[in-house]
Amino acid sequence: MEPNTPSEILLDVKGLKVSFNTPAGCLRAVNGISYTIREGEVMGLVGESGSGKTVGAYAVMGLLKAPAKINGGSVLFKGREILSLSKKEAAMFRGKEIGMIFQNPMSSLDPVFTIGSQMIETIRVHDKSVSKAEARAACIDMLHKVSIRDPGQVMRQYPYELSGGMRQRVMIAIALLCRPKLLIADEPTTALDVTIQATILQILKRLQKQHRMAMLYITHNFGIVAEICDRVSVMCGGYILEQGSVEDIFHNAAHPYTQLLLRLAPRMDTPPSAPLHYIEGPPADPTRLPAGCVFQARCPFCMAICRDRRPPETILAPGHAASCWRLGSQTADETGERVGA
């Protein structure tokens, strides 16, 4: 545990833009998103499918591959620009400073190596001075922490020999091995059944508190948001349309998009097999984003100005802002305040 100093900004994302060159034209996946995460803070990133959550997180991890292109913005980690790191630097940075858990653990576990050898390798890649025996002991300790009862046995197994829930625990253990200051979790429990989902969430929450680790938690499940997050950014069509504390979002959602998402959202106890409810009407085509608000075509309150001009960010309360023409006219520019900060 670290001393209880006022928490500093760990991750500062400003105006991040990512596009893809596709046969249908330039696909604008992330269109200038800004948010900050302080040490020990959990930021939830919510939004419908295709709203740019994963692409935005991959940019932060330095994991984007062609045809993805970062078109602007900056990502500061402890004040250091990480978008300009070389591939090698970015690889060292990942794992050590920022850990990541993906939705599908099979895509990140190597099928031909045992869990033990993959875990030991993860530690030794980042710190060559650690002996194999020391690394092994650290791995067993971490497997205990994610509530795996027989770590020695799991170390000898191959990924395919484990159940989905066990694999996801192993993934969390691997992500935490180098004690990252920030963990990015991209829908880490979506593929699991409800009981296992709840167990994994409890494990993550406990470890997050113990290690005072910051998290960017991507999910479309507001039950999970309520359970684990301090603040929330709500994404639509590559924009953050609303940002605030969990209380702001649950009790004072200001954007019609956030309000609709909340109304249709699955809860903690919704079985993953239940059909997801979507906001009626197709989301804006990211290769032909409209002028004005990205949510205009589906918004029950759409006005003429919403079609013409993009709404500015309105500060509603300290730390709470939304971009919607229906809200007051006091913009972030006028107050000099930045909600993300």
Ligand X SMILES: Nc1ncnc2c1ncn2[C@@H]1O[C@H](COP(=O)(O)OP(=O)(O)O)[C@@H](O)[C@H]1O
Q: What is the dihedral of CA 170, 174, 179, 181, to 10 degrees?
A: -90
Please state the closest distance from residue 235 (CB atom) to ligand X, in A: 6
Position 50 contacts ligand X (CB under 6 A): yes
Contact status, residue 216 vs residue 101, Cβ threshold 8 Å: no
Q: Which residues pair with 96 in a beta bridge?
A: none
Q: What is the sign, positive or negative, of the torsion defined by CA atoms of 283, 266, 35, 13?
A: negative
Count CB-CB contacts under 10 A for residue 336: 6
Stretch that binds ligand X, among 52-60, 88-96, 121-129, 246-254 (CB under 6 A): 52-60
Position 286 contacts ligand X (CB under 6 A): yes
Q: Which residues pair with 322 in a beta bridge?
A: 242, 314
Position 31 contacts ligand X (CB under 6 A): no
Q: What is the sign, positive or negative, of the torsion defined by CA atoms of 285, 241, 291, 19?
A: negative
Please state the closest distance from residue 199 (CB atom) to ligand X, in A: 24
Query: Which of 40, 44, 47, 165 is in the footprint of ligand X by CB under 6 A?
Result: 47
18 three-state secondary structure: strand
Judged by CB, which is closer to ligand X: 9, or 83?
Answer: 83
Position 55 contacts ligand X (CB under 6 A): yes
Judged by CB, which is closer to ligand X: 53, or 255?
Answer: 53
Position 52 contacts ligand X (CB under 6 A): yes
Strand order from edge to edge, sheet including 80-81: 25-38, 9-22, 68-77, 80-81
DSSP E strands in 39-97: the ranges are 42-47, 68-77, 80-81
Query: Which of 10, 11, 13, 27 is in the footprint of ligand X by CB under 6 A?
Result: 27
Please state the closest distance from residue 247 (CB atom) to ligand X, in A: 24
Query: Which of 54, 118, 219, 314 is in the footprint of Mg ion by CB under 5 A?
Result: 54
- How many residues line the site for ligand X (CB under 6 A)? 13
Position 29 contacts ligand X (CB under 6 A): yes
Measured distance CA(254)–CA(134) in Å, rounded: 52
Give the residue at shortest CB distance from Mg ion: 54
What is the contact surface with ligand X in residues (CB under 6 A)? 20, 22, 27, 29, 47, 49-55, 286
